[in-house]
Amino acid sequence: MVPGRSGESDCFGLVVPARMPVMSIAEMSAEDALVALHGSLDERRRPEEVAHLVLRVIGGQLGLRERMALGRVARAAARWNGWSSMSADFARPVGAARQVDAAVRLFELQHGGVDPEDPASLLDFSARLSESLGAVDPVRLDFLRDRLNREARAAVGIELSKRQYNRRFRVTQRLSAKADRLAVEQTKRQLTMVARAGFSASIDRSAFLADPWAGCFVAYLTAKRKLRREFTLAGRDNPYDDIADLLFQRCVADSGTDWWMIAQAYPTPSVLAQLTDAQRGELLGRWWTTMRQIATLLKRVWSASEFDQATMIVRRGNDSSTWNLLCGAYNAARAAWIATLDAAGSLVLLDASCPGKSMMLIAADLAVWHRSTGGGLHPDVGVWARLPLPWDVLDGTAACTRADVEAACGDGGVDPVVSGWSGPRAQAAVGAFRPTPELVHGVSIVDPVWASMLRAAGAFSGGKIKGGLESSLIPADVVVSDLPEPGGHSSR
């Protein structure tokens, strides 16, 4: 059999997924697999694929029981010949190479000196082009107010026709606008990674390769944390499952473990206790800065729309995708900041100022489903509604102490410490691995072929199904998820 084809078995008896590009997992050496694991920190690979890479790296050092447990998970990567309808990466912002090329060609410049992936470099290039056009305000670059007429162009030595001048002006405008959009999209992706995996995407490659056990643990745990949310009444699975625990216990047993690297992705009390005071102080500063940055963005989105703070059920016009992304990143940063405060023995600082959590928006149909089954809003929503907005607390506009938070939790019947409002969140029981489901807008589908068809048709998106695919034509066993009936009750 040709190496790398789907169906080939590696030395551990595992079928190689066909989706692995360039080099199959079976062809990888332990060193190559470890490099691939480091790359996965900035991707969205399925946990079973990551487990297969982990097995390539440290499989020979595992005991029989451990190897069997890890192999069971890795074998799940070969389902459907290793194919998945879901992307193995988070959306990456598209750079401005096209806009730069157009500007270079139109202005008759030499290539080089401009990084099309760097918004600052693009804005600097745009400003230089604006100055060459005699723009009054190179930053604003308004088409109606900043263009020069024929006499003004002649006065500053611009020998271009009106048509050529306008073309260059528009290209410069588009370049400046692209730089702004690129900065926003890069920030969104960065915060997506923070929400899902802490600071793991910034782990240095050399440090990662120097400690394979810690690297394997971080790569697997973050892969679990990056899993998509399912449309369900049940809570999310604990990403720290039996495989993560197996790898973590190996780290605990190793006297040379790089705990600083693990703390970037897993800032729990047991990990933070292994750090030096200087390291904990650095983490405190990074998480605090991240909180402040995200809070500023949350305030901007909040001010641009009308939210129902009492229920946080999404309304028409709410940018729920951006809001929930920012909430996830803010709450992750806040939880890590509080955990680090606790590890540093400085939790008393919350007595003076304790910014609360930020609540995500919930889909109206999911809220109705909860109510139809005897449930209701999450208790945290009531606590959030009773407290000042967290960005107002962080910028000093409003005051919120730990006593205020605990009083709001008391009114809502929430334990302030266990729930993570005024202390490190209690760790849940170790979870159990289950194969990654094929999801279409959170709904689990039986296989990736049907998932691709349903996604292309817009199924479960809240809009009208297109492409001639009617709901009545979808077999009953295609949808695996338990979904509500039109009246709100469960369909199973």
Q: How many CB atoms lie within 10 A of CB 219?
A: 30
Per-residue pLDDT, averaged over 77-82, amounts to 88
More confident residue, 15 or 292: 292
Give residue 341's pLDDT: 96
Q: Which residue has the higher pLDDT, 153 or 50?
A: 50
pLDDT digit string, tens, across residues 285-325? 999 999 999 999 999 999 998 999 999 999 988 999 999 99
More confident residue, 301 or 366: 301
The yes-or-no verdict on residue 212 having pLDDT over 80 is yes
Model confidence at 172: pLDDT above 50: yes
pLDDT at position 11 over 60: no
The overall pTM is greater than 0.85: yes
pLDDT at 373: 79
Half-sphere exposure (Cβ direction) of 399: Cα atoms closer than 13 Å: 5
pLDDT band for 143, please (50, 70, 90 cuts): confident
Q: Are 197 and 41 in contact (CB under 8 A)?
A: yes
Q: What pLDDT score does 490 carry?
A: 46
pLDDT of residue 70: 96
Q: What are 402-425's pLDDT values in tens digits?
A: 999 999 999 999 999 999 999 998
- The 10 Å CB-count burial string (b at 16+, else e) for 53-63 is bbbbbbbeebe
> Is the pLDDT reported for residue 138 higher than 70?
no
